[in-house]
């Protein structure tokens, strides 16, 4: 049985599937503005687990062809292992909450952990489909089999990435810089939204001198529901504070009438253009998504006729 598994045809299948599956994990592993996963240790962890997923996906079909059902049972073990990866990521991020400028929040942490688990499945499925196509091709022609398998794997990667790609805050809202001002009683306003009482004159002067504020206006009623979610707002503030640093203060407020949300902060690095781009790129959390039957293109009050 071991000799059958290591026949040239099976060895070609396994090698090609492993390479395609590992490639799938590498292309979905990127260091972005969120700086997660961290480099280099985070990269190594996720590439290794992705390679393991690719190996399991690549071996499944040859194991079935040689009636090695013990090998197929490793699929169930792999799923449990990837769930442990999600659990590990969640625990790790929860421990880091104590040292963050602004916490990520449980909803954001859960979304990150699920994303990394799902990307291991992308590697596994890409390798599996690559080998499946190679097994279905008639005869044994190494070059054409490899080309067909690679094309099938790349198509699987593209489809899976497209399917798992989520929306961002910029897809549902308009984002702009807002004006910071104080009234005579020391209340902080972001444009026309009252945010917070700031009692110390020195704090008010610093806000006026160094502060920056952002206004996020949902385009539709559904967008207002998403932005009303506390976890989503917490994720936005976390990314802003983490990326640009936080000297002292950060406040966020929601306008209950229009669904707008705003936040003001005093960053260590002031880059207003990059801040707007960052807010637009913050992902929408899975916990905020609704069933398609519940979605509506209705405009928010005050936007009808625009």
**Would you give per-residue pLDDT tens digits along the chain (306 residues)?**
444 446 888 889 999 999 999 999 888 887 554 546 666 777 788 888 889 889 888 888 888 887 777 666 767 777 777 788 788 888 888 888 877 778 888 888 888 888 888 888 899 999 999 999 999 988 788 888 899 999 999 999 999 888 877 788 999 999 999 999 988 888 899 998 988 888 788 888 888 889 999 999 998 888 888 888 888 999 999 989 888 988 878 889 998 888 899 999 999 998 999 999 999 999 888 877 654 444 555 555 555 444
Query: Domain ends where: 107, 134, 162?
Result: 162
**CA triple 60-37-291, angle to 5 deg:** 70
The pTM assigned to this predicted structure is 0.76
Question: What per-residue confidence (pLDDT) applies to 214?
Answer: 94
Measured over the CA atoms of residue 32, residue 38, residue 44 and residue 47, the dihedral's sign is negative
* Residue count of the chain: 306
Let me know if residue 304 belongs to a domain.
no
> According to the model, what pLDDT value does residue 6 have?
60
Return the pLDDT at 173: 92
Q: What is the predicted pLDDT for the residue at 306?
A: 41
* 35 and 179 both lie in a single domain: no
CB 267 within 8 A of CB 214: no
Q: Are residues 213 and 270 both part of a single domain?
A: yes
Contacts of 243 (CB under 8 A, 6+ apart): 33, 34, 35, 274, 278
Among residues 109, 136, 162, the one where a domain terminates is 162
Domain count, the chain: 2
Backbone φ, ψ for residue 130 (5° rounding) = -60, -50
Domain span at residue 267 reads 169-294
Residues 16 and 91 in one domain: yes
CB 199 within 8 A of CB 277: no
Q: Which of 129, 146, 162 is the last residue of a domain?
A: 162
Same domain? For 140 and 14 the reply is yes
């Amino acid at each position: 049985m071991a000799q059958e598994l290591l026949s040239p045809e099976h060895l070609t299948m396994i090698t090609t599937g492993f390479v395609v599956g590992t490639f799938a994990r590498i292309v979905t592993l990127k260091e972005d503005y969120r700086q997660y996963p961290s480099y280099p240790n985070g990269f190594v962890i996720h590439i290794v687990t992705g390679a393991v997923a690719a190996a399991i996906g690549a071996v499944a079909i040859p194991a079935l062809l040689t009636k090695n059902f013990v090998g197929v049972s490793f699929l169930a073990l792999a799923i449990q292992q990837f769930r442990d990866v999600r659990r590990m990521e969640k625990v790790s991020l929860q421990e880091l909450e104590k040292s963050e400028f602004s916490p990520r929040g449980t909803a954001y942490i859960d979304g990150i952990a699920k994303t990394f688990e799902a990307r291991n499945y992308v590697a596994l499925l890409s390798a599996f489909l690559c080998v499946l196509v190679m097994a279905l091709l008639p005869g044994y022609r190494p070059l054409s089999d490899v080309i067909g398998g690679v094309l099938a794997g790349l198509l699987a990667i593209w489809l899976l990435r497209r399917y798992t790609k989520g929306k961002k805050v910029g897809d549902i809202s308009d984002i702009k810089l807002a004006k910071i001002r104080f009234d005579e009683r020391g209340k902080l306003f972001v444009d026309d939204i009252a945010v917070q009482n700031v009692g110390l004159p020195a704090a008010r002067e610093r806000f006026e001198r160094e502060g920056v504020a952002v206004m996020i206006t949902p385009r539709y009623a559904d967008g207002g529901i998403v932005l009303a979610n506390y976890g989503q707002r917490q994720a936005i503030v976390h990314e802003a504070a983490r990326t640009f640093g936080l000297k002292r203060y950060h406040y966020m407020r929601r306008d209950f009438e229009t669904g707008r949300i705003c936040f003001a902060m005093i960053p260590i690095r002031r880059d207003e253009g990059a801040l707007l781009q960052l807010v637009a790129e913050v992902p929408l959390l899975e916990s905020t998504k609704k069933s398609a039957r519940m979605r509506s293109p209705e405009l928010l009050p005050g936007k009808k006729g625009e």
